[in-house]
Structure 1
Amino acid sequence: MQITSFKQYEEDYKKSVENPEQFWGEVAQNFQWRKPWYKVLSWNFTEPNIKWFEGAKLNITENCLDRHLATNGDTPAIIFEPNNPDAESITYTYKMLYERVCRFANVLKRNGAKKGDRICIYMPMVPELAIAVLACARIGAVHSVIFGGFSAKSIADRINDSQCKLVITADGAYRGNKQIPLKEVIDDALIGCPTVERCIVLTHIRTPVSMLKGRDVWWEDEVKHVNDVCEAEEMDAEDLLFILYTSGSTGKPKGVVHTCGGYMVYAGYTFTNVFNYKPGEVFFCTADIGWITGHSYIVYGPLSQGATSLLFEGIPTYPTPSRFWDIIEKHKVNTLYTAPTAIRSLMSYGDDPLNGKDLSSIRVLGSVGEPINEEAWHWYDEKIGKGKAPIVDTWWQTETGGIMISPIATVTPTKPGFASLPLPGIQPLLVDENGKEIEGNGVNGNLCIKFPWPGMLRTTYGDHERCKQTYFSTYENLYFTGDGCLRDEDGYYKITGRVDDVLNVSGHRIGTAEVENAINMHAGVVESAVVGYPHEVKGQGIYAFVICPEMHGDTDLTKKDILQTVTRVIGAIAKPDKILFVNGLPKTRSGKIMRRILRKIAEGDFNNLGDTSTLLDPAIVEEIMEASKGL
C-alpha cells in the first residue's frame, strides 16, 4: 500500500484513474472487514449520491485497536504531552487504549447511548477526547466533536442541528496560561437543547462546577460501574461515522457527514503514504481533534496503521516559544505536521528558541490549513528540517476527509508554496467561471474534482439540498472546492486562495494568498491579510492589514518598503493601495483569518460585521476598526 518511488506513484496514479474500482478495492484489502463489499463504487454528482464498498460490514475501531493487539499490543498508540511542561507525559499502549475505549463505550451504553445516536463532544486536548471519539464509533453512535473554545450559542446551534442525545465534556481546559471553563459553557448551551438527556463530565482542571441531578454524571464515577469488555457494533460501510461542523457562507454551520468504510480507507491510505510513515516512528500532528485534521491525522489515520500519535494539550508558545522543539527533542518526534500560522508565529521569535535543541529525529515535515508562503517554507526547511526533511504541503478540506493534493514524503520532488501533485485516486481539473475546463499547464482556474474518492463527504446533516447547492451545483457534474488554483509548467498545483478571495484589480485576477505571501517576505512583517475594497479607478483596490512590530518608529518608510517588496515579488499591479498596521488579525480558533470581517472594515461598513462570537479574540475587531478610521 505504501508508495516508495516516483515511478510507483506514476503507475499507481495511472491505475487509480483508469480503473478506480480495482485500485481502491485493492487498497481496502489492507483493512479488516467483517463482510466484504459486493460493489466498490456507485455514484452520481447530480444528486449527489456516492456509495463506497457497498454491502461491506466493519467497525472502524477494530481496525484502529483490535487488529493491533496480537502483534503491537505494547506499542505506544498515544503519547500525551500536557499543557504544563513540568507535568508527566503519559503513554497509552494499544492494549491500554483498547481497554479504556471498551470501558467508556460501556459507560455510553449505561447512559442510554445506542447505534445511530448523535453524541456531542466538547473537551480539552486530552487522551480522554480520543477515547470518547473511539468509544462512540465502537457502539455505532455518531460523534460530533466541537472545538473546546466555541461559545455556548455555537455549541447549542450544533447540538440542536444534529439533535444530540448525550454530551461529553470536562470541568475545564488549560490553554497556555489560561483556564477555560468548559462545563460552564456547556451549562449555558444546554439551556436551549431539549434533546440532551445526559452530560458526562471529566475532571481535568479541578475547578468547581454545577452538576444537575438526573442529567450530569462524572466520568470517573461512571467507569467504576462497567467492565472493559465491549463487542464492536457491526456497521455498514455507508453508516454515519461522524458529523463535523464547518462554518458556511450563510453563517449557519454545515454539518459535514463522513461514513465508516470509505473514510477509514482514505484516512489510513493517505496517512501512511503522504508521511511515508515507518513502524515505530512518533507522529506529531499539532492540530486539535475538534478539527478534521485531528480526526484524520491524530486519531483515525495513525491508529488504523498501528502508528504512535503524539497528542499535545498546549500551545506552541507556552511557557516559551521553544515548546514544540522541547517536545520534539523529548519524544524523538519523527514527523511534525502543523499549520503555517504556527510556523510564522514561531519564526517571529528568531533563532534563539531553537538554540541547543536536538531536532535530529525529524524525518518528515508537514504543513496544513492554508497555503504556506515561501518565506515560512524556507525557514521550516532550513531551521527545523536542516534541509534534510521533505516538506509535505498538504491541500485538503473538512469535506474531503483526507489529504488530496500533496507531495509524498521522500518520493515527490517539492517546490516551495506548491501542494504539488494529486494523490492516487484524485482527479483534479481547473475550470473557468463558466465551468469550461482549462487544459494544459501554466494556467489558472477554479479547482474542481471530477471523480469521487472514498473519503469525500456524503451530505450535510439534515439538509442534503445544502450539500448539493454548496459543492455540486456551481459546475455541472463536478465537486467544486471553492479554491482558486494555478497549475505550473510541470503540472504542479498551487492553491491561490478561496475564489471569493480573488481580487480583480484593473482586470487582473490576483489571489489574496499571493499578495500576502509577498508582503510576508518583508523582513519586519509577522503576518498579513489582504482584501479587496471598492476603488474608483481600478474597480477593486487592495487593502492590506499588516502585523509589523519592527518599524523603527517610521511607519511611512516601512509602508514604502513593503510596497517595494510586493513590486519586486509580484509586480506593481499587486501593490496594496492601503496598508493598515495592526496588532492582531480576526481569527477563528482554528487559526483561519476571517476576511469577511476585514472586507467590511475596508469598505467602512462597521455596522454589518456579522457574527464575531467564534473569533479567538473578538476585541481585536474594535481595535482594527478604530485604527482604520485614520487611514
Structure 2
Amino acid sequence: MSEEELKKPEQIVHYPDPSFQESALIHDYNELYHEFEKDPDAFWRRIASDLLWFKQWDNIKVWNHPYAQWFTGADLNITYNCLERHVNNDRRNKVAIFWAGENGKERILTYYQLYKDVMRLGNALKSLGVEKGDRVCIYLPGIPELVVSMLACARIGAVHTVVFAGYGSKALNERITGAGAKIVITADASVRRGGSIPLKPVVEEALIHAPTVERVIILRTQEPKVSLLDEFELDYEDLISQADRYCEPAHVDSEDPLFILYTSGTTGPPKGIVHAAGGYMVGAYYTTKYVLTLRENDVYWCTADPGWITGHTYGIYGPLLVGGTIFLSEYTPDYPDPGIWWKLIEDYGITIFYTAPTAIRMFMRIGEEWPNKYDLSTLRLLGSVGEPLNPEAFEWFYKYIGKEKCPILDTWWQTETGMHMVTTMVGLPMKPGYAGKPIPGVVATVVDDDGDPVPTGATGFLAIKEPWPSMMKTVYQNDERYQQYWNFGKYGYYSTNDLAVMDEDGYIMLLGRSDDIIIVAGHNVGTAEIESALVSHSAVAEAAAIGKPDPLKGNIIKAFVILRNGIVPTPKLIHDLRYHVRIILGPISVPAELDFVDNLPKTRSGKIMRRVLRAKEMGMDPGDVSTLDD
C-alpha cells in the first residue's frame, strides 16, 4: 500500500455501540492517557495496588537508560495472585479452565483444583532438587498440565522456559542448552488432527548434547504406556501423587526472572527474552483487565499456543490474574471440519475470542457458511494478534463473526514487550488496517532513522520512547543484545523493528518487519535459523531465506540455495531439503518455495542482502545496491 493510498479520505470507520463505551473500564481514553502523562508513577502505582504483594515497593520505577527496574524492593509471587487471591475469596469454585480435546474429551478445573495441582507439582519439583532461580524447560501440548507446570515453576521461584511442542529436536536442544535447564517436563505425545504425534523421541534426541538436564518428567497419555528410563525419566502422575499437598509460595524479588521465552534471532541463535516477576505481573494484569476488558462472567478463548508470548500473557497469566475463565483446546481450526471453532464458541458460550489474522484469512477463504451454522451470539469482543490485520480480514471478522456488534482489538506488541502496546481500545472508533493508538502507559510514535517524528501519513519506524512495566529484563546471557534494543536513533528509543504509518488522529498502521524476522501464520521465524538448518544439509553450500507475502498466511518462507560443487539440483532434492528443515526446526519453518541459485547478493563484508532478494521476488525496486559486492 502506497503512502498516497494511506492518505485517502475514504477510510472506513466503524463506530461501536455507545453501550460499549459505557461498559468499558476506560471511559475516556484521552483523559486517562493525559493522567498517565502527568504522573506515570502514580498511574502504575494505582494499577499495581490491585494486586497482592508480600512486601511493598520502595520505588515504582528506577530508569537508567537502557535499564529499568520496576517496583524495586517489592516481594511477591505471581501464583499467589493467580490462585490464593481468588481461592481465599469468592472464586474458589469458579471454573478456571475449560479444556476441550479431540474426540469430545473435556476437562474442567476450578480455581481450587488448579491451586491443588500447582502445589503438588511445585513440591514434586522441589523433591528433585529444583531451587529458586533454576530453569525448567516445558515441552508440552496445549493441555491443562502445561498451565500447571508453568505455575508450579513460578510457585517455587524456578524460571520456566516453554518450548512450542511443534518444534523439532534441534530447536528444542538450542532452547534447553541456552537456558541451562535442569528439568524437562514433556508428554509422550500430542494429539493433532485425529493423529498422535510422538514427543518423547524428539526430547530424547534433543537431550543428546544437553548436559545440564538432570531429570525428565513425562506425562503418559497413550496406551500402552511408553517405557521410562530408570531414575532419569519420571512419570508425571506418579510424581505428583507422592508429593505433599501444600507448597509455600516462594517470595521473589520484583526484579527476579519469572520466565525465559526464546524468540527467533536475526543474526544467530534464538534470543532468550527474560521477563521479571513484578513488572510482568502488573503489565499482564493491567492489559487483560483494561484492554481485553475481561469480566467476571466471561468465558475467554485465546487460540495462541502457550509456547508463544501471547499464550503466556493472554492465554494464562493475564486471565488468571484477573480471575477469569480460560478456554483451552487442542482442536485445529479446520479439523474435523471448518466449523469446529464456531461450534466450540457456541457450546462453551465464549464471550471473548482472541486469534490470529492467519486463521481469519483461512476462514474467509472457506466462506461464511460455516460460522453461519452456529450461534455466535455470546461473543462480545474479538481480538487479533501476531501480525497486521488487513482491512479485508477485519471487515470479514467484524461482519460474519462479530455480526457488526463486537468491537475488534487489533493488538500490536512483541515477545519483548510482554503486553499490549498499541490497539484500538474498546469504545473508540475502529479503522480497519490501523491497529490503533498507544494504550495509556505506553509512549510510542512513528519516527525516521534519527528518531524524529515523520509527517502524518509517511512511512517510518515504530519506536517506544519510555519504559513500561512488562518490558523484558534482558536477553539471557547476552546483555549486549539487549542494549541494542534501546539504541534507536539519536535519542536511544526502543526499536521495535516494525515499519509503520500514523494518521492525523494518531492511529498507527503497522506495515511489517524491517529486520530479518518472517511472520508466518502469526509465528515469528528467524531467517538465521532457517538458513542454518539448510546449510547443515550435506548438499548445501549457502542459503538465504525471505518472507514472501501470502494471502492466507501473511507470509510464506522462500529459500534460495547454493549447492556444493558436483551436486545436481532435482525435485527430489527440494523435497529432501524441505524435510530436513522440518526435522530440525518443525513444520512452521519449512520453506514453501525453494530455488537453486548460483550466487546470492552480498555486501562487501559478506552479509546477505535479503531485501534485494525480496524486492526481486516481488518485482520491486531493490533500492540502494551500492554496497553489493557484485
Bin the TM-score by the shorter chain.
0.7 to 0.9
Match of 2:272 in 1: 255
Match of 1:19 in 2: 39
Give how far 1:162 is off. 1.1
Match of 2:69 in 1: 51
**Residue 428 in 1 paired to residue 465 in 2?**
no
Give how far 1:228 is off. 1.9
**CA deviation string 1:502-551 (max 9, x = no partner):** 9xxxxxxxxx99xx9xxxxxxxxxxxxxxxxxxxxxxxxx996657xxxx
Which of 303, 306, 310 is equivalent to 1:293? 310
Matched ranges for 1:569-588 at <5 A: none
Q: Which amino acid aligns with 1:261?
A: G
- CA distance in 1 between counterparts of 2:37 and 2:428 reads 19
Q: Which amino acid aligns with 2:344?
A: I
Match of 1:446 in 2: 461
Give how far 1:469 is off. 2.2
Which of 368, 378, 382 is equivalent to 1:361? 378
- CA distance in 2 between counterparts of 1:546 and 1:150 reads 22
Give how far 1:615 is off. 4.7
Match of 1:419 in 2: 435
- Secondary structure at the aligned position of 1:383 is classed as helix
- CA distance in 2 between counterparts of 1:624 and 1:327 reads 41
Which of 299, 302, 324 is equivalent to 1:282? 299
- CA distance in 1 between counterparts of 2:161 and 2:25 reads 38
Q: Which amino acid aligns with 2:142?
A: M
Matched ranges for 1:462-473 at <5 A: 462-472=477-487
- CA distance in 2 between counterparts of 1:474 and 1:208 reads 57
**Residue 246 in 1 paired to residue 266 in 2?**
no
Structure 2 CA distance for partners of 1:543 and 1:412, relative to 1, 3 Å: closer
Q: Which amino acid aligns with 2:375?
A: D
Give how far 1:422 is off. 0.7
**CA deviation string 1:173-205 (max 9, x = no partner):** 011133221111001111110000010000123
**Residue 150 in 1 paired to residue 170 in 2?**
no
Which of 266, 280, 284 is equivalent to 2:283? 266
Matched ranges for 1:292-441 at <5 A: 292-409=309-426, 411-433=427-449, 435-438=450-453, 441=456
**Residue 72 in 1 paired to residue 91 in 2?**
yes
- CA distance in 1 between counterparts of 2:588 and 2:413 reads 26
**CA deviation string 1:322-357 (max 9, x = no partner):** 111011000000000000001111221112322320
Matched ranges for 1:483-498 at <5 A: 483-498=498-513
**Residue 477 in 1 paired to residue 496 in 2?**
no
- CA distance in 1 between counterparts of 2:486 and 2:151 reads 29
**Residue 614 in 1 paired to residue 630 in 2?**
no
Match of 1:39 in 2: 59
Which of 471, 488, 493 is equivalent to 1:456? 471
- Secondary structure at the aligned position of 2:102 is classed as coil
Q: Which amino acid aligns with 1:497?
A: G
**CA deviation string 1:114-149 (max 9, x = no partner):** 110000000011000000000000000000000001
Give how far 1:443 is off. 3.1
Matched ranges for 1:50-199 at <5 A: 50-69=68-87, 70-84=89-103, 86-87=104-105, 89-199=106-216
- CA distance in 1 between counterparts of 2:347 and 2:284 reads 27
Kindly indicate whether structure 1 or structure 2 has the higher relative contact order, using CA contacts under 8 Å at least 6 residues apart.
2
Structure 2 CA distance for partners of 1:323 and 1:594, relative to 1, 3 Å: same
- The percentage of aligned residue pairs carrying the same residue is 43
Structure 1: runs of 5 or more not aligned: 503-511, 517-541, 548-584, 586-590
- CA distance in 2 between counterparts of 1:546 and 1:268 reads 35
- Secondary structure at the aligned position of 1:343 is classed as helix
| Coordinate RMSD, CA, aligned | 2.9
Contact 2:333 2:341 in 1 (8 A): yes
Structure 2 CA distance for partners of 1:347 and 1:23, relative to 1, 3 Å: same
- CA distance in 2 between counterparts of 1:449 and 1:617 reads 29
Contact 2:26 2:290 in 1 (8 A): no
- CA distance in 2 between counterparts of 1:415 and 1:126 reads 36
Give how far 1:364 is off. 0.2
- CA distance in 2 between counterparts of 1:145 and 1:79 reads 21
Structure 2 CA distance for partners of 1:5 and 1:49, relative to 1, 3 Å: closer
Contact 1:105 1:136 in 2 (8 A): yes
Q: Which amino acid aligns with 1:128?
A: E
Match of 2:29 in 1: 9
Give how far 1:302 is off. 0.2
Give how far 1:50 is off. 1.2
Contact 1:77 1:93 in 2 (8 A): yes
**CA deviation string 1:77-114 (max 9, x = no partner):** 11111133x22x21111111101111111111111111
**CA deviation string 1:381-432 (max 9, x = no partner):** 00000000000000000000011001222x2211111111111110012221
- CA distance in 1 between counterparts of 2:26 and 2:251 reads 38
Matched ranges for 1:524-543 at <5 A: none
Give how far 1:18 is off. 2.3
TM-score by length of 1: 0.81
- CA distance in 1 between counterparts of 2:437 and 2:46 reads 22
- CA distance in 1 between counterparts of 2:72 and 2:78 reads 16
Q: Select between 457-466 and 204-213 the one with higher mean Cα deviation.
A: 204-213
Contact 1:471 1:481 in 2 (8 A): no
- CA distance in 1 between counterparts of 2:221 and 2:323 reads 28
Give how far 1:475 is off. 5.3
- CA distance in 1 between counterparts of 2:72 and 2:547 reads 50
Q: Which amino acid aligns with 2:364?
A: M
